């Protein structure tokens, strides 16, 4: 199609001349965000924990007492129900899946040797799906509504199929849609009947404090709701400071029932003699408590929100009147979900790549990398500078218009 017949093509061709080169494939904090936690370098005047433990030595596989208390305060659970280990929650999720496969979880047998299936709200987090695919766990898509997963579908599947062993959940500011689970959804997840006695909610609370507005969105606490519903072992909650302090050098935690914590401790004790307690100590000394974390996250939001606003403004200007195109307006988290007409996402991402903008591969937000409609594009505004992300959003919009016209 000639540029005369397709103005978007002419605009896209002009955009190509800018020579942009940006990688937006992951939701990485910007250097300015990382600088907010440079106090970690000076947060360690000594090596002894509050109970006198020398943090430089072996031991305390479940984490320093003050680190467990710190995360307990963040997650609203007793410190005794928290383990602090590793630098990233994703590694804890992976290990929990492996321990379940090899050893089973409280109330069940090892998942190896029997069919293991996970429910996956979509669009969702690609690394969750990668864990299941790599470890031979079958995945079933579940629609993600504005208030969380479609619970009519979830309840029907879980009640009728004992091979369904778990479900991935990002309950607050979901990746990539920004969805926040309603209290009703959380309570239905906690109370629903499951054919498998060892069913688990893998509760990835990655964005608990990652607000983009002044509204401090709160949701029902899943561990308490599960206990109240008579399913105390159902939820395993994961969290970290990966996008609070330094993404590559944070601390991670899991929280759950006493039985699940004992299970984890038993199996993780074979893997390691103890975590990096020096890193735990300096994080606790810098971050202190939930109020300090919230104050830090307000500073993160001041850096992030203008970038999100720039993307939304560009999409509104270039795509606001384009039929079949929509995008989410998240209240927190790290992503915007751009929804194209069916069949346009892959082509749009390829055209953006040709314009110097690398995006997450099409289909990544679905198990096995297959978006049935080929219509979701994950936008990660955090890492580029404000001028760069403004240009990138314009380029993505132009690429989509060209893709739809082609």
CB-CB contact of 212 with 230 (8 Å): no
Query: What does the pLDDT average to over 241-261?
Result: 97
For residue range 9-35, list pLDDT tens digits in order.
999 999 999 999 999 999 999 999 999
What is 45-288's CATH number? Answer: 3.40.640.10
Per-residue confidence (pLDDT) for residue 2, from 0 to 100: 46
Within 13 A of 239's CA, how many CA atoms are on the CB side? 26
Per-residue confidence (pLDDT) for residue 392, from 0 to 100: 97
Locate CATH 3.90.1150.10 in the chain: 7-27+293-405
Those residues whose C-beta lies under 8 Å from the C-beta of residue 70, and which sit 6 or more positions away, are 84, 283, 284, 287, 288, 289
Per-residue confidence (pLDDT) for residue 5, from 0 to 100: 60
Residue with tokens 């110097």: 356
Q: Is 52 exposed, middle or buried (0-12, 13-18, 19+ CB in 10 A)?
A: exposed
Per-residue confidence (pLDDT) for residue 216, from 0 to 100: 83
Per-residue confidence (pLDDT) for residue 1, from 0 to 100: 44
Phi, psi of 247 (to 5 degrees): -60, -35
What is 7-27+293-405's CATH number? Answer: 3.90.1150.10
Locate CATH 3.40.640.10 in the chain: 45-288
Those residues whose C-beta lies under 8 Å from the C-beta of residue 269, and which sit 6 or more positions away, are 61
For residue range 58-103, list pLDDT tens digits in order.
999 999 999 999 999 999 999 999 999 999 999 999 999 999 999 9
For residue range 345-355, list pLDDT tens digits in order.
999 999 999 99
């Amino acid at each position: 199609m000639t540029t005369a017949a397709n103005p978007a093509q002419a605009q896209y061709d002009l955009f190509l001349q800018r020579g942009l080169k940006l990688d937006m494939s992951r939701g990485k904090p910007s250097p300015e965000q990382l600088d907010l936690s440079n106090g970690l370098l000076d947060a360690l005047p000594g090596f002894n924990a509050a109970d006198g433990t020398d943090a430089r030595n072996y031991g305390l596989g479940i984490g320093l007492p003050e680190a467990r208390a710190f995360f307990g305060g963040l997650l609203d659970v007793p410190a005794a129900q928290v383990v602090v280990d590793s630098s990233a929650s994703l590694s804890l999720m992976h290990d929990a899946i492996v321990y379940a496969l090899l050893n089973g979880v409280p109330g069940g047998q090892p998942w190896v040797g029997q069919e293991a299936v996970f429910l996956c709200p979509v669009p969702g987090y690609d690394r969750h799906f990668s864990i299941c695919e790599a470890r031979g766990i079958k995945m079933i898509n579940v629609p993600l509504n504005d208030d969380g997963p479609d619970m009519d579908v979830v309840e029907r599947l879980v009640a009728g199929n004992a091979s369904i062993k778990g479900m991935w959940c990002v309950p607050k500011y979901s990746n990539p849609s920004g969805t926040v689970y309603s209290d009703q959804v959380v309570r239905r997840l906690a109370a629903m009947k499951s054919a498998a006695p060892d069913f688990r909610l893998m509760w990835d609370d990655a964005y608990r404090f990652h607000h983009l507005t002044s509204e401090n969105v709160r949701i029902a606490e899943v561990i308490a709701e599960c206990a109240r519903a008579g399913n105390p072992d159902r939820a395993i909650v994961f969290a970290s400071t990966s996008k609070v302090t330094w993404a590559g050098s944070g601390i991670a935690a899991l929280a759950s029932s006493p039985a699940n914590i004992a299970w984890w401790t038993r199996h993780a004790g074979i893997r390691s003699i103890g975590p990096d307690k020096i890193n735990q100590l300096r994080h606790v000394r810098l971050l202190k408590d939930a109020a300090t974390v919230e104050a830090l996250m307000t500073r993160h939001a001041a850096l992030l929100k203008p970038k999100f606003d720039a993307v939304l403004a560009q999409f509104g200007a270039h795509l606001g009147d384009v039929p079949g195109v929509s995008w989410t307006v998240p209240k927190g988290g790290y992503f915007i979900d751009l929804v194209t007409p069916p069949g346009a996402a892959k082509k749009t991402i390829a055209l953006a790549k040709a314009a110097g903008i690398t995006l997450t591969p099409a289909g990544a937000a679905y198990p096995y990398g297959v978006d049935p409609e080929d219509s979701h594009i994950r936008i990660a505004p955090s890492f580029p500078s404000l001028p760069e992300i403004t240009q990138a959003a314009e380029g993505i919009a132009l690429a989509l218009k060209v893709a739809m016209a082609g």
